[in-house]
Amino acid sequence: MVTSSPPVSPATPASASKRFELLTLGDELLLGLTANGHLTFIGAELGRRGVMLDRNVTITDEAEAIRRQFRESWARADVIITTGGLGPTCDDRTREAIAEVLGQELVFDEGIKQTIAERFARMGRRMTPNNLKQAYRFSRGEVLPNANGTAPGLWAEQDGRVLCMLPGPPNELQPMFREQVLPRLAALGLVRAREAYIQIRTAGIGESALEAKLQPSFDRHGAALSAAFCAHQGQVDCRLSSPSGELNDEALQAIAAECARDLGEDFLCFGHDSLAQVCADLLRAGEHTLAVAETATGGLLANAFTNICGASKFFAGGCVCYSNESKMQLLEVPEDLLSQHGAVSAEAAVAMATGAAERLGADYAIALTGFAGPTGGNEANPVGTIHLALYSHRGVWSRRLSYPGPRPTVKVRAVNAALDWLRRELVKERATAGGNPSARQGSG
Amino acid sequence: MVTSSPPVSPATPASASKRFELLTLGDELLLGLTANGHLTFIGAELGRRGVMLDRNVTITDEAEAIRRQFRESWARADVIITTGGLGPTCDDRTREAIAEVLGQELVFDEGIKQTIAERFARMGRRMTPNNLKQAYRFSRGEVLPNANGTAPGLWAEQDGRVLCMLPGPPNELQPMFREQVLPRLAALGLVRAREAYIQIRTAGIGESALEAKLQPSFDRHGAALSAAFCAHQGQVDCRLSSPSGELNDEALQAIAAECARDLGEDFLCFGHDSLAQVCADLLRAGEHTLAVAETATGGLLANAFTNICGASKFFAGGCVCYSNESKMQLLEVPEDLLSQHGAVSAEAAVAMATGAAERLGADYAIALTGFAGPTGGNEANPVGTIHLALYSHRGVWSRRLSYPGPRPTVKVRAVNAALDWLRRELVKERATAGGNPSARQGSG
């Protein structure tokens, strides 16, 4: 669940009144067979550059539907981005349908053909005639080369409007959007050349507490400063901007640094890094290793770390111990302890964390045991109860948490709580180890 | 990635020409802060009842934008479903904006107020005055009670059209849609009362091979039978329907059973069960237990099983072993083996599977070791190489797989391959154990 404050006002006066529309094409979206990830990606990328999409329309890839929708969108939007329908097969009709509405010719482009042919040759595959369909571009338009697939993107400026057509596969669309589309839009003054705001990411503090903590800073800078909050699970972002342009980037950065100092340990990073990424950076910087032991979260915590490229540098390993036997076998949790306190207990969590650290030779260990629901649970530990334990060279501690909600929500929240606890411990460690205790600058 | 064949034609003559439109409201969607899960959910639910959404429009929750879009949608669609904007705060303006376009009065409903007040009392919280906003309904309309939140859904039939307004939180929207909206739409003949098709889910066979294997069955039933294919990662669905209604449900079921027999082990289930769910059912039915050991997939395989409620019945546990030490410590993989063959090798996979089964006392074990990328890899095992091993009482085997693509894709594909291998082994086991070797009927 995300609750959203009013978005940051676009800080690009030039584009303040421009309307951006995203057309996502494909029956598989309308049938719920695949999620509309293009909206999530493009919406977020534009948002960072100070623009909020005006509208996203998803329609079938049938030619008449495309013509009808595009005609309507072209009449009202200033920038139209389409995704999908550029493939080589006969049901990819977007190029033709849109050319018709624009009154443009499609012309065969030898350069595109050459690039596609080279790609096939490189992969040792034979180019089929239908691939040549992808070599057509608008007569008054440009080509956005595709480094990761055969269909290039198409670009046209006409009637004071911009049309940008992107291929559907995310691994083709995303680099094309970042590397080609955003710079082109920025050059036309339609999006900011850099991020439109500075994002302060926090963890373990609620939205209203965060606002209260930052208010003194905000007050000092008055109306020139705009702050917008956005709460995710266990994490709240605060975006600072200066819609009037009165505060330049340097001034905003100074204010952000001041806010980060005021927040202390609640400060996670500037930008968009995940909790797991911040923990990973801290572990690497301190040359620490980590082990995890899970029951209820069943591998989700280990997966959060192993999603990070180069995780083997700090991640010693993890155990998913559903049965008492596995806790005894893998983590050397004493049978007596389990029978006396139960597998869902602070004692079990502490023993699991200690066992994981010792068996895997790690400096830090996190253990989670609990009932994610919907079944299980007992009087002392109803469904939603999670016992966390954190092991470090400074000691081993436990905490009891309780989350309402369905199984996947409980799992995610428990993992976030565990990550945030580890992060705070690592920040303390860095401070006592003589590192710089002030807020670090995260990567964008 | 999903490739989609033409969708099943709606098999409800009454609604064949009706246009369904979904309006999803919220800045957080346009800013890419949250994925549009309502499209995925509602699109899929309607698809199962023989209806494909005509269009999904996502707009800001600003009142004027809602009025403009709703006016346009109301003029062209027969059924309009809206999501979001029914909350208690001042930025929830959907109800008022739409009432204005419909020319309807909003009337205060004592019944809704009572329900909200009771909910607050039950939770020991105080109802604030702004919650009373949620007690308004259309004067010529009905209320869809909300068992999981304060905002009820709203329903109106007007101008030969249907309007259905749903609250934004998925845990409120989804049961309301399944339990109230679908039955109402079915009663009006706008969707089928039951699933519009029978879905045959397969695993480990490609789309064209599947079609070829089923063609003899299709041929026997001629034009009365329609088959549509939809490929997911490592899995292809075939949906059988009879658009003309010539084949009744019984006849379709007989054909589906025949197809399942023809497919043998490639048949996964009827309906929508996941690979992990089918494995879980087979493990439980055979009273088997399972252990897993992972490197590259880093907990994703364990998580696939532990997402299933009641996993502790069959899931003994798992290890995520990034380091050589962890493979030696947790799984007793001999150091010599790792230094001779490397941690990414068939030998290591076999030793990991065996170690997991023995340490955790499980009948079956799966191990995965490989390079998910983008870094790592060597000449013998480039990025994307995964060694799988499967342990059972019949023996232990290994397989070498190679996947292109980014890290998350490699992980998902490797997990699916592992699950499918386990499934096939469990199906063989069931057959030799004297179980019914013919296709099983999955849950819907």
Most confident of A12-26, A125-139, A233-247, B380-394: B380-394
Query: Above 60 in pLDDT, residue A233?
Result: yes
* Contact yes or no for A299 and B315 at CB 8 A: no
Compute CA distances A224 → A193, A221, A245, B52, whole Å.
21, 6, 8, 48
Domains A3-187 and A198-270 share a fold: no
Q: What's the rounded mean pLDDT across residues A80-109?
A: 89
Q: Say whether residue B384 is in contact with chain A using an 8 A CB cutoff.
A: no
Q: Say whether residue A2 is in contact with chain B using an 8 A CB cutoff.
A: yes
pLDDT in tens, chain B (444 residues): 333 343 343 444 444 589 999 999 998 899 998 899 999 999 999 999 989 999 999 999 889 999 999 999 999 999 999 999 887 776 678 999 999 999 999 999 999 999 988 888 887 888 877 788 889 999 999 999 998 888 899 999 999 999 999 998 888 999 999 999 999 999 999 999 988 899 999 999 988 889 899 999 899 888 889 998 888 777 899 999 988 889 988 999 999 999 999 999 999 999 989 999 999 999 999 999 999 999 989 999 999 999 898 888 999 999 999 889 899 999 999 999 999 999 999 999 999 999 999 999 999 999 999 998 888 888 888 988 999 999 999 999 999 999 887 888 889 999 999 999 999 999 999 988 864 444 444 333
Q: Say whether residue A44 is in contact with chain B using an 8 A CB cutoff.
A: yes
DSSP string across A233-288? TTEEEEEEE-TTS-S-HHHHHHHHHHHHHHHGGGEEEESS--HHHHHHHHHHHTT-
Angle at B318 between CA B314 and CA B322, to 5 degrees: 165
Give me the residue from B32, B310, B406 closest to A375, CB to CB: B310
Residue-level pLDDT at B90: 66
Residue-level pLDDT at A39: 97
Say if the ipTM goes beyond 0.85: no
Q: Say whether residue A169 is in contact with chain B using an 8 A CB cutoff.
A: yes
Give me the residue from B57, B307, B375 closest to A55, CB to CB: B57
Question: With pLDDT > 90 as the criterion, what percentage of chain A qualifies?
Answer: 64
* Contact yes or no for B40 and A35 at CB 8 A: yes
pLDDT, one tens digit per residue, over B239-262 is 999 888 899 889 999 999 999 999
Number of separate helices (H) and strands (E) present in chain B: 15, 18
| A36 Cβ contact list (under 8 Å, min separation 6) | A24, A29, A56, A58, B35, B36, B39, B40, B56
Q: Say whether residue B67 is in contact with chain A using an 8 A CB cutoff.
A: no
Measured between beta carbons, the chain B residues lying within 8 angstroms of A303 are 298-300, 303
Give B 226-255 residues with CB within 8 A of chain A.
230, 232
* Contact yes or no for B35 and A35 at CB 8 A: yes
Q: Does domain B3-187 have CATH number 3.40.980.10?
A: yes
Task: Residue B246: name the closest of B17, B11, B16 by CA.
Answer: B11
Give the chain A residue whose CA is nearest to the CA of B406.
Answer: A171
Residues A283/A314, Cβ–Cβ less than 8 Å = yes
Q: Say whether residue B378 is in contact with chain A using an 8 A CB cutoff.
A: no
Question: With pLDDT > 70 as the criterion, what percentage of chain A qualifies?
Answer: 93
Place of tokens 């490609």: B206
Tell me the three state secondary structure of residue B95.
helix
Q: What's the rounded mean pLDDT across residues A267-277?
A: 94
| B150 Cβ contact list (under 8 Å, min separation 6) | B88, B116, B119, B120, B131, B134
* Contact yes or no for B323 and A316 at CB 8 A: yes
Residue-level pLDDT at A126: 80
Q: Say whether residue B412 is in contact with chain A using an 8 A CB cutoff.
A: no
Residue-level pLDDT at B375: 81
Residue-level pLDDT at B78: 97
Confidence band for A91, pLDDT divided at 50, 70 and 90:
low
Q: Say whether residue A70 is in contact with chain B using an 8 A CB cutoff.
A: no
Pick the more confident residue, A5 or A128. Answer: A128
Chains A, B: CB contacts within 8 A come to 262
State how far the Cα of B73 lies from the Cα of B21, in Å rounded to an integer: 7
Please state the domain extents for chain A: 3-187, 198-270, 275-432
| B360 Cβ contact list (under 8 Å, min separation 6) | A323, A325, A326, A329, A330, B289, B291, B316, B317
Give me the residue from A299, A375, A405 closest to B318, CB to CB: A299
Compute CA distances B46 → A28, A60, A408, B21, B242, whole Å.
13, 15, 24, 11, 17
DSSP state letter for B296: T
Task: Residue B218: name the closest of B255, B260, B244 by CA.
Answer: B255
State how far the Cα of A306 lies from the Cα of B414, in Å rounded to an integer: 15
Q: Work out the minimum CA distance from A365 to partner chain B, whole angstroms.
A: 14
Measured between beta carbons, the chain B residues lying within 8 angstroms of A375 are 309-310
Task: Residue A366: name the closest of A276, A281, A268, A432 by CA.
Answer: A276
Give me the residue from A39, A169, A291 closest to B32, CB to CB: A39
Task: Residue A354: name the closest of A414, A326, A395, A304 by CA.
Answer: A395
Residue-level pLDDT at B235: 86
Q: Say whether residue A404 is in contact with chain B using an 8 A CB cutoff.
A: no
State how far the Cα of B170 lies from the Cα of B176, in Å rounded to an integer: 10
Confidence band for A38, pLDDT divided at 50, 70 and 90:
very high
* Contact yes or no for B326 and A311 at CB 8 A: no
Q: Say whether residue A284 is in contact with chain B using an 8 A CB cutoff.
A: no
Q: Work out the minimum CA distance from A237 to partner chain B, whole angstroms.
A: 11
Instruction: List the CATH code of the domain at A198-270.
Output: 3.30.70
DSSP string across B32-89? TSS--HHHHHHHHHHHHTT---SEEEEE-S-HHHHHHHHHHHHHH-SEEEEES--SSS
* Contact yes or no for B320 and A300 at CB 8 A: no
Measured between beta carbons, the chain A residues lying within 8 angstroms of B54 are 30, 59-60, 65
Residue-level pLDDT at A318: 95
* Contact yes or no for A36 and B41 at CB 8 A: no
Give the chain B residue whose CA is nearest to the CA of A51.
Answer: B31
Q: Work out the minimum CA distance from A316 to partner chain B, whole angstroms.
A: 6
Q: Say whether residue B42 is in contact with chain A using an 8 A CB cutoff.
A: yes
Residue-level pLDDT at B16: 57
Superfamily assignment of A275-432 in CATH? CinA-like (3.90.950.20)
Q: Say whether residue A129 is in contact with chain B using an 8 A CB cutoff.
A: no
Q: What's the rounded mean pLDDT across residues A243-252?
A: 88
* Contact yes or no for B326 and A316 at CB 8 A: yes
DSSP H or E segment with residue A227:
strand A226-232
